[in-house]
Structure 1
Amino acid sequence: MDPSKRQKYVLVTGGAGYIGSHTVVELLTAGYAIVVMDNMCNSHLEALRRVERLAGRPVQFFKGDVTCVSDLEKVFSLYNFWAVIHFAAIKAVGESTRIPLDYYYNNVAGSLQLLRVMKNFNVKNLVFSSSATVYGEPDICPVDETARVGPVTNPYGRTKLFVEEMLRDLCNSDPEWNVCLLRYFNPVGAHPSGLIGEHPQGIPNNLLPYVIRVLQGRSPFVHIYGSDYDTVDGTGVRDYIHVCDLATGHVAALKKLDTKPGCVAYNLGTGIGYSVMEIVKMMEKVTQKEIPYKIVDRRPGDVAVCTADASLANRELGWYPTRRMEDMCEDMWRWTRKNPMGYDGQTLLDEDEEDDDDSSNSSNGED
């Protein structure tokens, strides 16, 4: 068959991960033909099995690594791709300061290999999973896309900025390329079904997964870094976005590629800031459990308030987040109750089991 007449697919690298799996649900629901490529270093096949259950459609999966040219060439030879959504990366800020070469290799070199293979197969449409960390310490708030990028204070953030710069150079060199750079603020929550959610490896770096860890009795208390900021209660304020809203942003960006936008960056956030203490109190309300915490010194580089101006995504992508902070906390807690060991348990607990034996799945935060 003439390759041009074959069904056109979207390649989703890292599609078995946290944001990737939620996006795959939305893509399948929207009718896209997709292929997930993942090396499974920080993800789980069980996530894709549950994605199939949610979407009512099979997921075509190819195990491979974006740093491996032969893996990329094989998957591009098997399918007729018209676009790529590129999630594949490692993403822990703290870890990136300890093993920076791993981050540059996986995130930067992996992206470079992907782009070279895309070019060779004449696939020039890309949605890139970037991050608000590219802004460094923002000079304006709310942060819009005109804000200065950098200097970035950690290797993880620098890898995202370097790939953004690489993509801008690529688009400037060849106008056939079309790229949407999606700068996430703070993704949280889980699918409201409780079937898929975040499965962090090791000790989480982000606030809500750490709160969950404390609720499960796996850590004694939540660290709150600084209580003397000029905010509603002295604790830092951030823009949290539900992972399902983030997922719909990727579908909207994929549609935008059809309009040949060139290379354009979009913030994905709600524009609403919540303080650390407000998050803790909301989780206490949702779980009906007390969450122990300890106030410690500020961390270097932390700012008092950082929220997104996502009006460009609202206007140009027709994308609007719909979930509230209470939804984010409720969905995250539902995921935790149904999957106390994440995907490692693989046995999905139903609501009756949770209600009958709640103490086996969570604790009041005390050791």
Structure 2
Amino acid sequence: MNAAFSPPKILVTGGAGFIGSHACVALIAAGYLPVVLDTLVNSSARSLERIAAITGVAPLLVRADVRDAAALERVFAAHAFGAVLHLAGLKAVGDSVDDPLGYYEVNVAGTLALVRAMDRAGVRRLVFSSSATVYGDTARSPIPESAPHAAVNPYGRTKAMVETVLLDLAHADARWGIACLRFFNPVGAHESGLIGEHPNGRPNNLMPYISQVAVGTRAHLVVHGTDYDTADGTGVRDYVHVMDVAEGHVAALRHVTREPGILMANLGTGRGASVLEVVSAFERASGRAIALRLGPRRPGDAPAYWADAGSAQARFGWRARRSLDDMCADSWRWQVGNPHGFDEAAPPPPPPPLPLPRTPSTQPGIPSCPIPFLPL
């Protein structure tokens, strides 16, 4: 960025996390300066150092909780934000069943605190990271935005509840511009191999499991169900590259900056891939065989689940551009270069040659680039 130019600041809650860190890269590429608000409880500040290595721009970091009204007030007083990308929250479906109150407190009460702080500061442009879990497991694919809320777990219900709050807000106050983005199964990593999903407990989707088998930290992949009414009998899901999701947030940001009101939009490819198709793509990317163990269906799993992705393209010009092969190649590049995620418990091994490279397969050195820390 030109030093004489002052880029517009965007507050990114949860900006050190998986989707948040990629959104920061996309924001910087689009000419914005992200200010990250994150507790770093389920993420790492090293992701921001990697963002600086990729983009040459260090995001500003505020270590605070989105539920902390006083901290939010100080952040909004210190910066003139053009808008907010709200990605902070808890996201593990299984954990939400065990701790529903914690999920409602963080995901719902935290959003209420954020929106109140935005309103007091006069910042009324918001992109909210929702989830396709709001549709539940019974919607028929391709799933349009008009499908009703039918979430089957507390995590999905928190997302649906926040959408309802924001819909009421936009209808009550015409000054607001809000986009709720329902993304399907975000996977992959930045093509540089410098940022990706930091391992933190049980993975939330298929690809990290496959990656762990390929790298040797997991013995085999259990395929849950081989008798579904699909082409190869295994479950079908809409996998979308995390950088496509990140760029979708930027496209939605531009839309709400121009137009008040509220929109709901799916972020997906509009195509489903079966478990075995994903395994085959990962084998091509890694050059390694994935050991499989066939198991029974899991209760509640839908046979097939993918997005009607036309609305995002019609409303704000976004569509997913990266293929399943890209998702697997980028996941593998991240995995072999960062076997411990952002932790430095062991040096990363040199990555093997990738059959589908779009960037050099060797991870570049990460220069020392301290992240500006903004005390509250």
TM-score by length of 2: 0.89
1:48-127 counterparts in 2 under 5 A? 48-127=48-127
Instruction: Tell me by how many angstroms 1:266 deviates.
Output: 0.5
- Indicate the residue corresponding to 2:238 in structure 1: 239
CA distance in 1, matches of 2:336, 2:91: 25
CA distance in 2, matches of 1:240, 1:36: 26
Instruction: Tell me by how many angstroms 1:128 deviates.
Output: 0.1
Give the counterpart letter for 1:98 in structure 2. D
Q: Secondary structure at the match of 2:342?
A: helix
1:1-367 counterparts in 2 under 5 A? 8-150=8-150, 152-345=151-344, 349=348, 353-355=350-352
Give the counterpart letter for 1:182 in structure 2. L
Give the counterpart letter for 1:80 in structure 2. A
CA distance in 1, matches of 2:216, 2:33: 42
CA distance in 2, matches of 1:144, 1:42: 31
Asked if 1 retains the 8 angstrom alpha-carbon contact of 2:8 and 2:32, the reply is no
Give the counterpart letter for 1:58 in structure 2. A
The structure with more helix, counted as a fraction of residues: 1
TM-score by length of 1: 0.91
5+ long unaligned stretches in structure 1: 1-5, 357-367
CA distance in 2, matches of 1:173, 1:346: 51
Higher relative contact order (CA 8 A, sep 6+): 2
Give the counterpart letter for 1:91 in structure 2. K
Asked if 1 retains the 8 angstrom alpha-carbon contact of 2:188 and 2:196, the reply is yes
Give the counterpart letter for 2:278 in structure 1. I
Please list the CA deviations of residues 92-148 of structure 1 after superposition, one character each: whole Å capped at 9, or x if unmatched: 111111111111111111111111111111111100000000011243310111112
Percent sequence identity is 48
CA distance in 1, matches of 2:229, 2:272: 13
Asked if 1 retains the 8 angstrom alpha-carbon contact of 2:131 and 2:156, the reply is yes
Q: Secondary structure at the match of 2:129?
A: strand
Please list the CA deviations of residues 137-165 of structure 1 after superposition, one character each: whole Å capped at 9, or x if unmatched: 24331011111221x11111111011101
Q: Which moved more, 1:338-347 or 1:249-258?
A: 338-347
Instruction: Tell me by how many angstroms 1:30 deviates.
Output: 0.9
- Indicate the residue corresponding to 1:364 in structure 2: none
Instruction: Tell me by how many angstroms 1:7 deviates.
Output: 7.2
Instruction: Tell me by how many angstroms 1:311 deviates.
Output: 0.6
Asked if 1 retains the 8 angstrom alpha-carbon contact of 2:212 and 2:218, the reply is yes
Q: CA RMSD in A?
A: 1.7
Q: Secondary structure at the match of 1:343?
A: coil
Structure 1 segments (4+ residues) deviating >4 Å: 346-350
1:24 to 1:348, Cα distance in 2 relative to 1, 3 A: farther
CA distance in 2, matches of 1:99, 1:119: 30
Give the counterpart letter for 1:165 in structure 2. T
5+ long unaligned stretches in structure 2: 1-5, 354-376
Asked if 2 retains the 8 angstrom alpha-carbon contact of 1:138 and 1:147, the reply is no
Asked if 2 retains the 8 angstrom alpha-carbon contact of 1:221 and 1:292, the reply is yes
CA distance in 1, matches of 2:139, 2:162: 22
CA distance in 1, matches of 2:208, 2:84: 29
